[in-house]
Amino acid sequence: MDINTLYGIALAIGLSMVIMFFQNLNRKKSWRGKVTEIKRVEDIDDDGFSTVSYKVYYRTDMGKKGKINLPERAYESYFSDLEVGATLIKERGKDYPEVLHG
């Protein structure tokens, strides 16, 4: 293996560790809040392919603002009935919040 390959592998490992660190920080959080806005975002790359994602903005019961970025598939599978004003509950150890119905 040449030195550039080793540097590439080391960079990939380092980047993976940084991503896992920030994901772990998010999993440790728990909160409860209300949805304030839902935005559908469509990005078109240079080849003309589009990707859709959703940004869900919320305000916690403690008054903090936050947002969740959801890929289209996750939004349509788990949050398709989400509306402004709905209550979200994010439990420690979970990636996404649950929607409180009723």
Domain ranges, residue 87: 30-100
- Ranges under pLDDT 70 in the chain: 21-28, 101-102
Give the chain's radius of gyration (CA, Å). Answer: 18
Q: What is the pLDDT of residue 15?
A: 84
- Do the bridges between strand 50-60 and strand 65-71 make them parallel or antiparallel, or are there none, so unpaired? antiparallel
Q: What is the pLDDT of residue 13?
A: 87
In a domain, 3, yes or no: no
In a domain, 44, yes or no: yes
In a domain, 50, yes or no: yes
In a domain, 68, yes or no: yes
Q: What's 55's DSSP letter?
A: E
User: What's the pTM value of the predicted model, to 2 decimals?
Assistant: 0.70
Q: What is the pLDDT of residue 44?
A: 86
Q: What is the pLDDT of residue 83?
A: 93
Cα(32)–Cα(101) distance, rounded to whole angstroms? 13
For residue 82, the domain's CATH number is 2.40.50
Judged by DSSP in three states, 36 sits in strand
